[in-house]
Structure 1
Amino acid sequence: MSSPQVSADSNAWFDHAFSAAPLMLILRGLGVERSVELSERAWDLGIDMVEIPLQSDTDAEALRTLAPRAAERGLCVGAGTILDPEGVRLAAECGAAFTVAPGTSREVLEASVDLGIPHLPGVATATEIHAALRHGVRWVKGFPAARLGASWFRDMRGPFPEVRFVATGGMSAHNAAEFLDAGVSVVAVGSAIEDEAQIPALAELLAGR
């Protein structure tokens, strides 16, 4: 069986989606009301991209609620922690514009390609980055980013200059600049946003770049 290939349009989609700001929020397990509240606060401050990890029925409800609200602003919401083709289909049903995974799965990539949804696979080694490129994927999620370290991303940019990294895992307003300066294209902030000061601090970082 031949490997699934991501279309140039999928890579171009991420190029465009992340062009406005090098930041994304990950709203994991926050419920519907809190997810809407934090998303709208971020959108108002210029942080456009939001991901809802799909790990429960409540998460699916949050995504279904958030997707049309984002569309009203000309924005979109992605679905994260997609581990199998069923997750891809659920993400599509809930209105996700893109899917994100913690690792690289041929089956998940193929399901996303079949449904025409841009997919962001996770990588943590040069071998996984190379495999993603062989599938036509140029945008990848470096996870767990804080454990890998900013220098890892700088080193990977050497042999893989065409790859665009979304740093995820342990990211916050306190270390985002370090990773962006190391060549990361986007920093995705998750659990840190439980601190009310994080979103304004991220917006301030955004304004300064």
Structure 2
Amino acid sequence: MEVIFIDRLSLVGELKLQYTQGRCVMRNVAYSDMWQRTLSNAPAMTTPLPREERLVMYSNEPLTQMLGGHALMAILRGFGVEHSVALARQAWELGFECIELPIQSERDLDALRAVVAAGAEIGKSVGAGTVVTLEHVRQARDAGAAFTVSPGYDREIVRASFEAGMPPLPGVGTASELQSALAAGLTWLKVFPASALGLSWFTAMAGPFPQAKLVATGGMDASNAESYLATGARVVAVGSALADPAQLPLLAGILNNHHLGANRN
């Protein structure tokens, strides 16, 4: 019998083992607020498998509560404390629900803490972006971030984010990365750099990976957001567009159109 060994308690979602034709198979059952695993009929193992042979399953479906049903996400990069808070409030007034602040300096961390505090007052989720080291994960947690975002797919960052209580949004840019992330249980994935990959990438990936919930990031603004949403992106993340007064009414229109469409459906 081939055994899939589950190593770690840091799983978001209840998992259980089933036996199918002599093979031990793991499937995701349901999201649990307790962030725990349930293993039924798991075979006893006296000798753990080597780390590279262990299959660890995660689920970042809690991101659906933050991103699901919202066409746009805001990225506030390098604006400093006061401007970041002002742009965040502006974004919330436009209809944005989710905001990401990349953390690459102490100034960025100060801005993240300030926007987290402002968001907490009105029940908005704020995440930490450009999380590429374990130290970044710690800093994001200490600043009160609700989730982490990374430009690439790093299993150690994913694991550490879950253990810190923050569902991760890792980045992918190839079919292999997308397949690996989905196999690990991750369904919400950042596509970066989306503008360089192009609309055809989203069309091509939709065939073999219809379960993927993709967030188009990189080079996105009011002029191309609708095209990416129509081609397979669940969410489009916009950054510098938020600081362009000419784009604000266009972004508000996109949010409103998709909100109305969701209500009709």
TM-score (norm 1): 0.95
How many residues align? The count is: 206
2:138 maps to what in 1?
Answer: 89
SS of structure 1 residue aligned to 2:215: strand
1:16 maps to what in 2?
Answer: 65
| Higher helix residue share | 1
Contact 1:28/1:190, CA 8 A, preserved across alignment: yes
| 1:141 equivalent in alignment to 2:190 | yes
Following TM superposition, by how much is the alpha carbon of 1:131 offset from its aligned partner in structure 2, in angstroms? 0.8
Instruction: Determine the C-alpha separation between the residues in 2 that align with 1:57 and 1:195.
Output: 25
Contact 1:4/1:113, CA 8 A, preserved across alignment: no
Contact 1:4/1:106, CA 8 A, preserved across alignment: no
Instruction: Determine the C-alpha separation between the residues in 1 that align with 2:192 and 2:229.
Output: 15
| 1:98 equivalent in alignment to 2:150 | no
Instruction: Determine the C-alpha separation between the residues in 2 that align with 1:63 and 1:53.
Output: 8
Runs of 4+ in 1 over 4 A off after TM superposition: none
Following TM superposition, by how much is the alpha carbon of 1:81 offset from its aligned partner in structure 2, in angstroms? 0.3
The RMSD of aligned alpha carbons is: 1.2
Match of 2:98 among 49, 58, 70: 49
| 1:205 equivalent in alignment to 2:254 | yes
Instruction: Determine the C-alpha separation between the residues in 2 that align with 1:4 and 1:80.
Output: 24
Larger radius of gyration: 2
| 1:5 equivalent in alignment to 2:57 | yes
Instruction: Determine the C-alpha separation between the residues in 2 that align with 1:134 and 1:41.
Output: 38
Residues 75-125 of structure 1: CA deviation (Å, up to 9, x unaligned): 110000000111111000001000000000011011012112100000000
Q: Which ranges in structure 2 are unaligned for 5 or more consecutive residues? A: 1-50, 259-265
Contact 2:71/2:254, CA 8 A, preserved across alignment: no
Higher relative contact order (CA 8 A, sep 6+): 1
Q: Percent identity?
A: 49
Q: Which ranges in structure 1 are unaligned for 5 or more consecutive residues? A: none
